[in-house]
Chain A
Amino acid sequence: MSPQQRESAVTRVEAEPVVATVSVLKNEAELALADLFSKKRGLFIGSSEIALRREAAFARFAKSGLPSKRVEAWHYTDLRAALRIPLPIAEFPDNAARALARPCIEALRAADPQPVTRFVILDGIFDAELSTSHMPAGVSVTPTCNSLIAGEQRAVLAFEAGGLGENDPALNLNEAFSVSGVLIDIADGAMIDQPIEIVFLSSGAHRHAIYSRSSVRIGEGAVARIVERRCSNSSVGIQRNEALYLNLGDRAIVRHVAIAEADRADCIDIASTLLDLKEGSELTSTSLVHGGGLRRRQIFGRFNGPHARCSLRGVVLLGGKEHADTTIVMEHVAPNCESRETFNHIIDDEATGVFQGKVSVAPEAQKTDGKMKSRAILLSETASMNNKPELEIFADDVTCGHGATCGSLDDDQLFYVQSRGLPKAEAEALLLEGFAGEIILEIANEQTREVLMDDVRAWLSHRALRGN
């Protein structure tokens, strides 16, 4: 490819945002969201800069509408079809919500007794009472709403999030409607040993829509462990749209674990993680995601400095009629960076898994090393998996690759394990545990590793019970 051709190719891509191909006919849900925004726009907290951002974000949303099958980035997760009636936005958690939330947090403590610095976002609102009050040295925290009221620049940064995912309709709604969350700051050079856990908890007290915007700035050369946990106590179907911006300074090192507990069949849960990677920074992320009615975990990442590394690994466990979508866009705009995406899905019954991974390499991002691997084991005839790995490369000196497989358990492996004395169901469970273990056993912290493996084992034994 000649330089001119490359140039024009890039221009073409930038000129056509992915979401630009939807019909202009608004459905009821879109009209309701527009109505909601026009009623709320004067009441939102935040500086005029934030207000302008909300207007712009909603305008982008209004242009694209709710994404349907016709939008490539949402092809396998039809939000337009699922979100027929937008629920009212969650109010400040009342006593009923608190009362429901407290046992959830206590259960978390019991399940994993290792000390953590915990921040709880209850129904979209940072809850100081349920959160850790004593901060480790080098960590400071402000609820997003306080920062918005005070007109602080860091709230603007959290909303701006480096422009990551700015064409995503769900993220635009998040920017338009979020008023709370938590803003965490880890000082330059801080070595934070104790994990920082952000719990996104839905109390289930009310049927509503939850929006929140949080961010963690990890200062230059700082080292931290971050856990992102999504729990739902819902006895009613709710709609969640929450975003977390991880902003890694030069040479920052973050070990990130994301856990999404199972959600109700009538819930919609969109979790966006925005990754901003500066020079020499390193992010290792491992996730364990259970299903829900419509669950989408979307990660928008960008290498903004050279020699940064990012490894995203995940296990997704789905059964029943659950749907879970993992969509990742990693943008290489600086040279010499390395990205890895490795996802293993186990899908049973009539569940549907989606993996969309896109690695884009700008002309200046020479020596990019990007690899993507998605594998799925389907345990029933009616389970389905949609794999869409994508490479978009405009630099000529790169190493990029992807692989995707989808199939049932291997008969040879099954026979081998059975020939050692394990009955078929146990042999299957052992192989599936191994399939999940390939991802989870890479977690450096032994206790975290075991907690996640116990979670996998529980899912497998639950599955075995259902089978009988």
Chain B
Amino acid sequence: MLEIINLHAEIDGKKILNGLTLTVKDGEVAAIMGPNGSGKSTLSYVVAGRSDYKVTGGDVLLNGQSILELGAHERAAKGLFLAFQYPLEIPGVTTMTFLKASINAQRKQRGEPELSTPDFMKKVRAAAAKMGVKDEMLRRPLNVGFSGGEKKRLEILQMVLLEPSFAILDETDSGLDIDALRIVGDGVNSLRAKDRGFLVITHYQRLLDHIVPDTVHVQSQGRIVKSGGPELAHELEKNGYRDYVAAAA
């Protein structure tokens, strides 16, 4: 469960989050929608622990425990995962090496033994096949020269392998064609479980056709201005964000 309580955050003295409050329960898929500049990506960065954002008030609890004092890697080991809007290219590090380093870094922090190479390979191959990620891609440097769709698929593959207890998907639909959207949607749906929550950040309704949310929230000017069920997404698709931008101002 993720609880964001009256969260205030800024970067370079500029306030981005202004008392944002949101709870996503275990098993719940919550969607955050909102216009450009409403601080959606900032929210994902702040929760994931990016250090150049300064939290000036409020708290974030993961499974009942405050994570604001933890580094990004510690939050990851506690089960938080962020699928990036723009996944980074890591030249010179093969995807396979990166995946193994990530999994074992988390296991080490949790006091679990490292995965053996054969166990790891088995796990990766099975997950990759499901995500339509070819072996050849796993041998290439992570995200280097990958298409937008391939990068997003790799994000979901990482999520499947790291088995987080809470995942944030930051505009995972951007840059995806219809087929890739379905694969990504299936990947997320396959992980839906009663002990796992999701926060899906998106501009558009179309991702939510594949990943049907339990709750939909509208973010504007750094806080949640409206919450509802899946029907809210349809309403936004039809009417736009204008009313909410005005409401927040």
Binding site for B on A (CB under 8 A): 410-413, 415-424, 426-427, 430-431, 433-438, 441
Contact = CB atoms under 8 A, between A and B. Distances in A.
Best-buried of A417, A419, A427, A430 by chain B (most CB within 10 Å): A419
Nearest to A416: B88
Contacts of A411: 52
A441 B51 CA distance: 32
Nearest to B141: A434
Nearest to A413: B88
20 contacts: A411-B52, A413-B88, A416-B87, A416-B90, A417-B90, A419-B76, A419-B84, A420-B73, A420-B98, A420-B105, A421-B76, A421-B103, A427-B73, A430-B90, A433-B93, A434-B90, A434-B91, A434-B93, A435-B92, A437-B141
Given A415-B72, A434-B90, A421 B77 contact: yes
A412 B89 CA distance: 10
B91 A421 contact: no
Interface string B151-170: 00000001000100000000
Nearest to B72: A418
A436 B106 contact: no
Contacts of B24: none
Contacts of A427: 73
A412 B50 CA distance: 9
A416 B73 CA distance: 10
Interface in B63-85: 71-73, 75-77, 81-82, 84
A150 B225 CA distance: 93
Given A419-B76, A420-B102, A422-B102, A433 B92 contact: yes
Interface residues of B, number: 32
B36 interface: no
Contacts of A436: 92
A421 B105 contact: yes
Contacts of A422: 73, 101-102, 105
A420 B98 CA distance: 9
B50 A426 contact: no
A438 B168 CA distance: 31
B201 to A, nearest CB: 15
B48 interface: yes
Interface of B: 45, 48-52, 71-73, 75-77, 81-82, 84, 87-93, 98, 101-103, 105-106, 109, 141, 158, 162
Contact of A413 (B49, B50, B77, B90): B90
A424 B71 contact: yes
Nearest to A420: B102
Contacts of B45: 415
A286 to B, nearest CB: 13
Contact of B48 (A419, A434, A435): A419
Contact of B109 (A421, A434, A437): A421
Given A420-B105, A421-B106, A430 B93 contact: yes
A39 B105 CA distance: 64
A435 B73 contact: no
B73 A438 contact: no
B90 A419 contact: no
Given A411-B52, A415-B50, A434-B141, A423 B91 contact: no
A438 B93 CA distance: 8
A427 B101 CA distance: 9
B88 A426 contact: no
A415 B52 CA distance: 10
A418 B92 contact: no
B74 to A, nearest CB: 8
A290 B90 CA distance: 24
Nearest to A411: B52
Nearest to A410: B88
Nearest to B76: A421
B158 A420 contact: yes
Given A411-B52, A430-B101, A419 B72 contact: yes
Contacts of B158: 420
A417 B73 CA distance: 8
B106 to A, nearest CB: 4
B76 A420 contact: yes
Given A424-B71, A427-B73, A430-B101, A419 B82 contact: yes
Nearest to A422: B105
A416 B82 CA distance: 9
Given A420-B158, A423-B71, 16 more contacts: A410-B88, A412-B88, A415-B45, A416-B88, A418-B49, A418-B71, A419-B72, A419-B84, A420-B76, A420-B98, A420-B101, A421-B105, A430-B101, A434-B141, A437-B91, A441-B92
B226 to A, nearest CB: 29
Contact of B92 (A419, A424, A426, A434): A434
B183 to A, nearest CB: 21
Contacts of A410: 88
Contacts of B101: 420, 422, 426, 430
B105 A416 contact: no
Given A420-B102, A420-B105, A427-B73, A438 B162 contact: no
B179 to A, nearest CB: 26
A424 B141 CA distance: 20
Contacts of A426: 101, 105
B123 to A, nearest CB: 16
